Structure 1
Amino acid sequence: MKRKTKRLLLNWKILLLILFLVGSIATLALRPLTYGIDISGGVALVAQTEHPVDSKTMSVVVDSLQRRLNNLGLRDITVEAQGNQIVLVKVANISTEEQANQIKTVIESQGVFYMEFSGVIFGTGKDVEYVGVYKINSDNSWSVPFRISKSAAEKFAKLAKGKPGWPVDMFLDPPVNSLLVVPESVYKAMNSSEFNARAPEAPTLLERITKAFNISVVAYANQSAGEIAKLAEGKDKVVLVDVPQELQTELEGMNVTVRYVARAQGESDHQLIVQVLGLYGPYSLGEGLTVGEAQQDVQITGSAPDRLSAEQEASKVYTVLKSGSLPVKLNVVGMQFISPRLGEGFKTQALYAGIGALIAVFLIVYFHYRNLKIAVPVASTSLFEAIIILGFAALIQWNLDLPSIAGIIAAIGTGVDQQVVITDELLGGERSTRVSRRSSVLRRMGRAFFVIFASAATTIAAMSFLLVYFVGTLKGFAFTTILGVLIGVLITRPAYAEIAKYLLGED
C-alpha cells in the first residue's frame, strides 16, 4: 500500500497538478486579481461615429482609440464596436465626473492634427514621427516635444525663412470647410493682431484659417436662419458660437449640419476662439528656424492656471499625437457610472455562486455513487481547476468580469461531466487477473479520454468562434471557458484519473 501511495505521489501527472496548483496560489498571493468594470466599478461611455462605417474602418477606430486611451495612462480599458456606428468604451476604477470628462474629451478628439504657417498647412499628424514625454514646469507651463518628417521640415523652412516672430499655429480637429457665426467681439479678435505672436504685420488668424481650411467667419448681427443658410452654401457645416441657440433648431429644419458652442461661465473671447478652432498657439517663430534650414525636432508648449489643468492639456496633446488620427469623428452620446459598492456585491455573489456550485457537485456525485472516495476527489479537482484558472488570470492580468466568472463555472461543469465519464469507465470494468485488469483499465481510460478530448475540441471550437467574431462580454466568457477546458484536459483530468484508479483499487 505504501509503495502504491509513493508511486502515485511520484506520478508525473500528479506532480504536474501540484506544480500548477502551488504556482497559481503563489501568483494569487503576489499578484492580486484585477476585475472588470461591472465588479470594480467605473464608467461606460457610448460613442457614435458621424456616419456608418464598414467593418475595416471600425476596426481601425477601435484599435486607435484603444491605443489613445492606453497612452493616457488608464488601466482596465475595453473598447468594443457595436454594429457599424456605435463604440462602447468601458474604463474601470473611474469614479469622478472630472476623470470621465477627460476620457470623453480624448474620445471626441479625432486627432486630425495640422501644422500651419501663414495660411499654409506644412504638416499633418502623418508627419509626426516621434513624440517625447511631456514635461510640466513649476510655473504650470508645459511642453510636448516631437519630431516631424523631413518633407514637412523642409516645407516649413522655406515658408519661415526671414520671418522671425511670425505665428506658427497647431490645430486639432479644426472645423474645416465650415461657416462660423460668432459674436462681433470674437470676430474682431480673430481679425486683429491678437493671435499674431510678435509679428503684427503677419496675416491675421482670420486670414490664416480662411486660406488654410476654407473657414468663413461672420459676425452675428441678428441674421435669420435663412440668411445664415445661404452664406453656408457649399460648406460642410455651420458652427454657431455663443449666439441664440434657437438658430440651431431652425437651421437643422433646413437640413443644415449644425454644431453649437456655448460660452462657459467666465470664458474670454480668446479662450472661446481657441476652443472652437482646436488651436494650440500661436507660437512665436524663433530666429533659429528662419534661416531656411530644415529642423525636424520641435515642440508644442502651453501654460495653465494650475498644475492639474497643465497635466490635462499636455496629456491630451501627447495622446493625440502619439496615437495618430481616427478615420472618423466620434461623439459621446451616453455616459454611465457603475458604483464600486455595487461591484463588491457582484463579487460576493459570484463567490457564493462558486462555493454553491462546488457543494452541489459534491452532493450530486455523492448521492449518485454513494462513495466518498469518488465525491471528494471530484469536488477537490473542480476546486483545484478553479484555483489554476484564477492563477492564470492573475498572471496575465486578465480583467475578471461577471461573464468571465460564468465561463469559469461553465468550464468546471464541463470538467465534472468528464470526471464522471472517467469514473464510470473505471467502475465498469471486469475484475479478473492483475494483468488482464490492468489491460482493461488502459482500454477503458483510452475510451474515456477519447470522449473527453472530443468534447473538449468541440467546446474550444465553439468558444473560439465567439472569441474571434463576437465582441463585448462574450469574449470574457469564451476566453475563460477555453482556458478552463485546456487546463482540464491537460492537467486536472489526467491527474484525477490517476487518483481515481488509486482510490478505487484499479492501479
Structure 2
Amino acid sequence: MKILKDGKILILLISLVVSILLITFKGVSPGIDLSGGSVIVLKSEKPMNDEELTLTIDILGKRLNANGLSDVRIYPRGNDEIIVEIPKSADLERIEKILSKQGVFVAKIDNITAYTGKDVKSVEPPQQIPQGNDWAYGVPFELTLEGAKNFAKVAEGKAYHRVELYMDGKLISNPTLAEGLADGKPHPKQVITVGPYPPSKEEEDEAMAIYAALKSGSLPVKVNIEYVSSISPTLGKEFVKGALIAGLLAFIAVGVVVGIRYKKPKIILPILFTCASEILLILGFASLINWKIDLASIAGIIAAVGTGVDDQIVITDEALGGEKRLKKSIRRAFFIIFAAAGTTIAAMVPLFVMGVGMLKGFAITTIAGVLIGVFITRPAFARIIGYII
C-alpha cells in the first residue's frame, strides 16, 4: 500500500515498534504511589546553598547505595528540605537511622583527638570481629598514613586507656586501647564495635548507619527527619486500577465526541489510533530513560494526549475545509500546532528545571508527549488524513 511507504508514517510505525519492545523487555518502572513505598522528608538545620544541596543529595545517595538501595529518588524541595522516596522492600527503620546521621566522626584518647572521619581511607561492611577469646560485631576501617601517624602519637604509652569514638557528638563505642596499639607505631587498621556477636536488630542497624556514614563522608549540614509517609502496595494497586479505568473512560469519551463530530469511521479511527500511539511512545520514552511513572506522570500523559486530540481536530478541520488546497491548509494547521506546543513547553520547562517534587514527573511526560506529537504523530496523522481525503 502506498500509505505504508510514506516516510512520516514509517517513522511513526518504527517508533511504535521500538516503544513496544522497550516496554516489553525493559519495562516501565512505577513510582511509589503506584507500587507502594515510603516518602521521607528531611529538614536541614539551616538553609543550604546550591553546592551544599548538591553535595548532601550526592552523599545521601551514596549511603543508600551502600545499603543495596539503588531504586531510590532523592530531590530537593526549596533550599532546606530534601525528599527521599524508597521502595516498599526497604527496611524503613534502618533507612531512617542512616539518613538522620550527619556523619561527623571523631576518635579521642584522654580528650585529645586521635583521628577524624577525614582520616578514614576505606571502610568494610559490618562483620564478625575477634575480640580476645570471644567475638564482637562491628565496622572495620583503615586510616590514611597521616591519620595512623597521628593516632600513634596520641596513643603512645596509653595502653588500657579508653578510645572514645563519637558520631555526631554521641559516644558510639569506647574500647580499651590494646597494648600493641600504644607502641608509638602507625596502626592503620581500626574497628568500631557496636556489641557482641551475634548482634541484635538494633545493633545491625546502628552498624550499617556507621558504615554508610564513614563510607560516604559527613553531610555539610545536619538534617533531621521531618516526617515519613508510607503507601501500601495494596493502595498502590488501587491507584493503578483507578488510573487505568480513568484512562479507558477518557479514551472512550474522546471516541464518542469525535464520532459525534465527524460521523465517519475513516476519520475517527485514525484519531483514536494516533491517541493510542502517543501513549505508547511516551511510555517507551519513559522506559528508555528509566523514568518512574507516578500519578503526576500519568496526569502529564493525559494532558499531552489531550492537546494531541485538539491538534488532530485542527488538522482534520483544516483538511476538510480546504480539500482543493490540502497542503496549504495543513501547513496552516501546523502553524497553530507549533505555536501551541511552544507555549506548553515554555510553561513546563520551569517545573522540570526546578525539580519541584512530583511536578517534575508531570512536566517531563507533558514535554515528551508534546515533542513526540509535534515531530512524530501529528505529521503522520496529517499524511493519513491526506490519503483519506
Q: Do the aligned partners of 1:37 and 1:91 also contact (CA within 8 Å) in 2?
A: yes
Change (3 A) 1:389 1:281: farther
Q: Return the alpha-carbon distance in structure 2 between the equivalents of residues 123 and 388 of structure 1.
A: 55
What is the correspondence of 1:117-136 to structure 2 with a 5 Å cutoff? Answer: 117-135=109-127
Q: Return the alpha-carbon distance in structure 1 between the equivalents of residues 114 and 247 of structure 2.
A: 61
What is the correspondence of 1:364-379 to structure 2 with a 5 Å cutoff? Answer: 364-379=257-272
* CA offset digits 1:127-182 (Å, max 9, x no partner): 334444554689985554544444323322333445566554432111xxxxxxxx
Where 1:89 maps in the other structure, the secondary structure is strand
Query: 1:452 aligns to what?
Result: 337
Where 1:35 maps in the other structure, the secondary structure is coil
1:502 is aligned to 2:378: no
Match for residue 41 of structure 1 among 23, 36, 39: 36
Instruction: Please report how far the alpha carbon of residue 352 of structure 1 lies from its aligned counterpart in structure 2 after TM superposition.
Output: 1.0
1:15 is aligned to 2:10: yes
1:402 is aligned to 2:295: yes
Where 1:400 maps in the other structure, the secondary structure is coil
Query: 1:115 aligns to what?
Result: 107
State the 4+ residue runs in structure 1 displaced beyond 6 angstroms: 137-140
What is the correspondence of 1:81-160 to structure 2 with a 5 Å cutoff? Answer: 81-94=76-89, 99-135=91-127, 141-142=136-137, 144-160=139-155
* CA offset digits 1:167-216 (Å, max 9, x no partner): 54432111xxxxxxxxxxxxxxxxxxxxxxxxxxxxxxxxxxxxxxxxxx
Query: 1:465 aligns to what?
Result: 350
The AA in structure 1 aligned to 2:351 is L
Q: Return the alpha-carbon distance in structure 1 between the equivalents of residues 197 and 373 of structure 2.
A: 57
* CA offset digits 1:254-280 (Å, max 9, x no partner): xxxxxxxxxxxxxxxxxxxxxxx3413
Percent sequence identity over matched residues?
43
Query: 1:26 aligns to what?
Result: 21
Query: 1:493 aligns to what?
Result: 378
TM-score, normalised with respect to structure 2: 0.86
Instruction: Please report how far the alpha carbon of residue 120 of structure 1 lies from its aligned counterpart in structure 2 after TM superposition.
Output: 2.4
* Root mean square deviation of aligned Cα: 3.1
Q: Do the aligned partners of 1:167 and 1:285 also contact (CA within 8 Å) in 2?
A: no
Q: Do the aligned partners of 2:98 and 2:208 also contact (CA within 8 Å) in 1?
A: no
Instruction: Please report how far the alpha carbon of residue 406 of structure 1 lies from its aligned counterpart in structure 2 after TM superposition.
Output: 0.3
Q: Which stretch of the first structure deviates more once superposed, 381-390 or 133-142?
A: 133-142
Instruction: Please report how far the alpha carbon of residue 474 of structure 1 lies from its aligned counterpart in structure 2 after TM superposition.
Output: 0.8
Q: Return the alpha-carbon distance in structure 2 between the equivalents of residues 134 and 69 of structure 1.
A: 15
Instruction: Please report how far the alpha carbon of residue 94 of structure 1 lies from its aligned counterpart in structure 2 after TM superposition.
Output: 5.0
TM-score, normalised with respect to structure 1: 0.67
Q: Return the alpha-carbon distance in structure 1 between the equivalents of residues 29 and 177 of structure 2.
A: 47
Query: 1:69 aligns to what?
Result: 64
Change (3 A) 1:453 1:134: farther
Query: 1:192 aligns to what?
Result: none
What is the correspondence of 1:301-312 to structure 2 with a 5 Å cutoff? Answer: 301-302=193-194, 303-306=196-199, 311-312=204-205
1:340 is aligned to 2:246: no
Q: Do the aligned partners of 1:160 and 1:292 also contact (CA within 8 Å) in 2?
A: no
Larger radius of gyration: 1
Where 2:175 maps in the other structure, the secondary structure is strand
Instruction: Please report how far the alpha carbon of residue 308 of structure 1 lies from its aligned counterpart in structure 2 after TM superposition.
Output: 5.1
Q: Return the alpha-carbon distance in structure 1 between the equivalents of residues 8 and 178 of structure 2.
A: 71
Change (3 A) 1:288 1:119: closer
Q: Return the alpha-carbon distance in structure 1 between the equivalents of residues 69 and 140 of structure 2.
A: 22
Q: Return the alpha-carbon distance in structure 2 between the equivalents of residues 28 and 286 of structure 1.
A: 62
What is the correspondence of 1:223-238 to structure 2 with a 5 Å cutoff? Answer: none
The AA in structure 2 aligned to 1:28 is I
Q: Return the alpha-carbon distance in structure 2 between the equivalents of residues 45 and 173 of structure 1.
A: 21
Query: 1:323 aligns to what?
Result: 216
Unmatched tracts of structure 1, length 5 or more: 175-276, 432-439
Q: Return the alpha-carbon distance in structure 1 between the equivalents of residues 351 and 138 of structure 2.
A: 45
Q: Return the alpha-carbon distance in structure 1 between the equivalents of residues 335 and 107 of structure 2.
A: 65
Tell me the number of residue pairs that the alignment of Structure 1 and Structure 2 aligns: 385
Where 1:472 maps in the other structure, the secondary structure is coil
Where 1:19 maps in the other structure, the secondary structure is helix
Instruction: Please report how far the alpha carbon of residue 384 of structure 1 lies from its aligned counterpart in structure 2 after TM superposition.
Output: 1.2
The AA in structure 2 aligned to 1:105 is K
The AA in structure 1 aligned to 2:373 is G
Where 1:397 maps in the other structure, the secondary structure is coil
The AA in structure 1 aligned to 2:378 is R
Instruction: Please report how far the alpha carbon of residue 48 of structure 1 lies from its aligned counterpart in structure 2 after TM superposition.
Output: 3.0
Unmatched tracts of structure 2, length 5 or more: none
